[in-house]
A and B are shown apart, each in its own frame.
Chain A
């Protein structure tokens, strides 16, 4: 309780423990216990965790519910896919095409020249910058238009959802430029390094984990800065913040852009690890699923959202393997359960029922300690406490 008066470092001891535990699980436990095939699944789930992380800041802290985060995930993913596709479409690889040297789907669509907006994606440097900035720019334009006019709450959510729908339609409709409904597929190498091999996928998994930890640290920094408290204040009493001399809209725009960039990093890592990007990760359904991950993990908890993403996706994969037709009902039921029974998600359950038994260092550690298949954790953690 003494945090108000003295804390200068941006991580509290329990945050550090939480991050270390998460890093330990992701870097040591999972790679040692899962086979390559399963580990690649976890790598894919982790790319969604970037989106969930953004949603914690944007929705949990600032109260801005976006149902269109898939758009930003997709933009990041497409930026990366464009680079990889260009590398895969070298004249040597595409000599059977009418126009060699351009991506195959362009050739199929009678496009004979690389479109101008594809050109810069020949550079990896440009691509990495674009992954972060293109979605942020989109978010800036949308956020500026909405938040300056004080559009918020449900209306904002609906508009972001419409945006997700528009984006999907646009990508599918402009087949010659985007690869259409199939997306951008058949990605092979990154600067000559084959990303399709098992060893490459394992390396990319660790890159993904490292980036995620870096983004988690960034999120903690934002949360613990005065800006983080202003976001919470805005969620509670927007008018009061305005009358304390803050331009509320600029803070909303900032956090929305930040969430967009985080999602996009996830999208880019998705493309690298899974090897393609398609409109099915952009639209309304994936966008809402990402909100559910965040809600299940706990929208107020940075680490909780990561676990939420892992748990829901793990459940999705296991369920879909055994009862494919039941999964959607399961997901719906899960969301209803979160809203009705545990509004603060796994993090809330941890904080209420488990953390109090673990002593002060874990007292505030709302969220962690759950291994991805969360169900075992409520059982093991109290046992450990006894």
Chain B
């Protein structure tokens, strides 16, 4: 029990503490006894080859997949026992790999739905689009370069704009832990550059976990990099340290 006491005292400084996390799908361990810690205001990038379990880790944290064993603690709260919407309300935001937005609604409505008020049935029925809401939506829309598209139906946005919109939807929730799954995938060079700028402004004052393949991009933003391989941590540390790690070069960077 000594180890338990030690980790408990250590956890205090971490926003997110993942310990002994394992999930198995029909015997296949997609994530295997994984432990890592994310500091306040830290930007953590998770890299690794396909099938390493990166997206599964995010799924586990946000409650989409239930852990087989292990614990995920976010600000002293155990996430593995909470429902998805409770985890969101606790302050965890998640961006999916493919832009996940409401195509039938306008940009404004997409952002408004993500505004963290009126989340119950009665609250949604009586929700008023007041000045505070409009102002906040406008502010976020400007951040994500969509201020002139507020009345546009989301389905008519370009792929890059959809990614931005989803980032904006997270931003308006103002999460303390933001998880981004391949935020620049499928973007043009100029969109990628703008996205990097955008991410640099939004990651302030919160912890961020990013999954990304683009090494240049990772180098730009990461405080610390975790390399996953077959559901386990292969290496962890600064970008320079990870890039120099022979194991990492062999399974991932070398290709």
Contacts of B62 in A (CB 8 A): 243
List chain B residues, Cβ under 8 A from A1: 151
CB of A251 within 8 A of chain B? yes
The answer to whether B108 and A5 touch across the interface, beta carbons within 8 angstroms, is: yes
Complex CA–CA separation, A145 to B101 (angstroms): 28
The secondary structure that dominates the A interface is: helix
In the complex, whether A239 has a CB less than 8 A from a CB of chain B is: yes
A236 touches B84 (CB 8 A): no
Distance in angstroms between the alpha carbons of A230 and B125 in the assembled complex: 10
A-B contact pairs, 29 of them (CB 8 A): A1-B151, A4-B106, A5-B150, A5-B151, A8-B128, A225-B126, A225-B127, A226-B113, A227-B124, A229-B109, A230-B113, A230-B124, A232-B102, A233-B105, A235-B104, A236-B105, A237-B101, A240-B101, A240-B169, A242-B84, A242-B88, A243-B62, A243-B93, A243-B94, A244-B113, A244-B114, A246-B119, A246-B124, A251-B124
Q: In the complex where A4-B150, A5-B134, A8-B129 touch, is A236 in contact with B121 (Cβ < 8 A)?
A: no
The CA of A8 and the CA of B88, in the complex, are separated in Å by: 29
Q: Are B64 and A245 closer than 8 Å at their CB atoms?
A: no
Residues of chain A in range 139-196 having any CB-CB distance to chain B below 8 Å: none
Specify which of A4, A229, A237, A248 lies most central, judged by the most chain B CB atoms within 10 Å of its CB: A4
Tell me, in angstroms, the Cα distance from A2 to B152 when the chains sit together: 10
Residues of B within 8 A of A243 (CB): 62, 64, 84-85, 88, 93-94
Residues of B within 8 A of A246 (CB): 85, 119, 124
Chain A residues 203-256 with CB under 8 Å of chain B are 222, 225-227, 229-230, 232-233, 235-237, 239-248, 250-251, 254
Interface residues of A in 1-28 (CB under 8 A from B): 1-5, 7-8
> CB distance B124 to A4 under 8 Å?
no
Q: How large is the interface on B (under 10, 10 to 19, 20 to 34, 35 or more residues)?
A: 35 or more
- Given A5-B134, A245-B88, verify A236-B103 contact (CB < 8 Å): yes
User: Does B22 count as interface, using CB distance less than 8 angstroms?
Assistant: no
Report yes or no: A242 in contact with B129, Cβ–Cβ below 8 A: no
Check A222–B125 contact: CB distance below 8 A: yes
Least Cβ–Cβ distance between A220 and chain B, in angstroms: 13
List the A side residues contacting B113 at CB < 8 Å. Answer: 226, 229-230, 233, 241, 244
Measured CB to CB, the closest approach of chain A to B88, in angstroms, equals: 4
Interface string of B136-159 (1 = CB under 8 A from A): 000000000000001100000000
Check B118 against A233 for contact (C-beta < 8 Å). Answer: no
B133 to A, closest residue via Cβ: A226
Q: Does B120 contact A (CB under 8 A)?
A: yes
Q: Are B150 and A229 in contact (CB under 8 A)?
A: no
Task: Known contacts A2-B151, A4-B151, A243-B84; decide if A236 and B104 are in contact (CB<8 Å).
Answer: yes
CA distance A244 to B111 in the complex (A): 10
The one of B83, B118, B128 in contact with A247, judged by C-beta atoms closer than 8 angstroms, is: B83
B193 to chain A: which residues have CB within 8 Å?
none
Decide: B101 and A4 in contact? CB cutoff 8 A. Answer: no
Given contacts A225-B127, A243-B93, 4 further A-B contacts (CB under 8 A): A226-B112, A233-B102, A236-B102, A239-B96
Q: How far is the CB of B65 from chain A (nearest CB, A)?
A: 12
Bound complex: CA of A3 vs CA of B62, how far in Å?
Answer: 34
With A227-B124, A229-B105, A239-B64 already in contact, the answer to whether A244 and B150 are too (CB < 8 A) is no
Q: Which 5 A-B pairs have the closest CB atoms?
A: A4-B108, A245-B88, A227-B124, A226-B127, A233-B102
Contact indicator A245/B89 (Cβ below 8 Å): yes
Given contacts A240-B100, A244-B169, A246-B85, contact A251 B129 (CB under 8 A): no
| A2 to B100 Cα, complex, angstroms | 24
CA distance A251 to B124 in the complex (A): 9
Inter-subunit contact A250/B64 (CB<8 Å): no
A202→B84 CA distance, assembly (Å):
53
* Closest residue on chain B to residue A232 by CB atoms: B104
Q: Does chain A have a CB within 8 A of B32?
A: no
Find chain B residues with CB under 8 A from A227 CB: 121, 124-125, 127
Interfacial chain A residues near B114, Cβ < 8 Å: 244
A237 and B102 contact, Cβ closer than 8 Å, known pairs A244-B113, A246-B85, A247-B85 = yes
Q: Is B173 an interface residue (CB 8 A)?
A: yes
How far is the CB of A368 from the nearest CB of chain B, in Å? 22
A-side contacts of B84, CB under 8 Å: 242-243
Whole-angstrom distance from the CB of B63 to the nearest CB of chain A?
Answer: 9
Q: Which of B85, B88, B129, B134 has the most CB of A within 10 A?
A: B85
